[in-house]
Amino acid sequence: MNPNQILATETVEASLRDVGARLSKIRLSRNLTQASLAQDAGASVSSIKRLEAGENVSLDTFVRVLMALGLTGHLSASLPNPEVRPIERVKRDGHERQRARGAASVTKATDWAWGEDEDA
């Protein structure tokens, strides 16, 4: 199974609870109170409580907590490397993709275009 694929049984709420529980255990293993972590992270104690409970907090708060715990390296490691595969790089003459192209083509509203008037 692809580790990047979200399991059908896994929900956002379950993932948030799991991340919150892990952060709580890490905090406790370092003998930090929620108040001291909040101060180190520049966040409120209520935000730390919500994060550890698996409730919704801002991405900013989450990253600040990871920085305070010295875990920011794990954040980037959790995402796949976005480098273009060598085959694609050769196809693109060494250029990397700058934009995504939609799968569906755009259909014209009409066949009329500027300069096609026959009144001339």
Question: In this predicted structure, what is the pLDDT of residue 7?
Answer: 54
Q: What is the pLDDT of residue 4?
A: 47
Q: Please state the domain extents for the chain.
A: 12-72
Task: Enter the tokens of residue 98.
Answer: 């700058």
- For residue range 28-72, list pLDDT tens digits in order: 999 999 999 999 999 999 999 999 999 999 999 999 999 999 999
- Distance in angstroms (rounded) separating the CA atoms of residues 87 and 107: 31
Phi and psi, residue 98, nearest 5°: -110, -25
User: pLDDT band for position 1 (50/70/90)?
Assistant: very low
Report which DSSP code applies to 17. H
Structure tokens at 36: 């001291």
Task: Considering only residues 74 and 50, tell me which one the structure prediction assigns the higher pLDDT.
Answer: 50
Q: Does domain 12-72 have CATH number 1.10.600.10?
A: no
Distance CA(48)–CA(5), nearest Å, equals 28
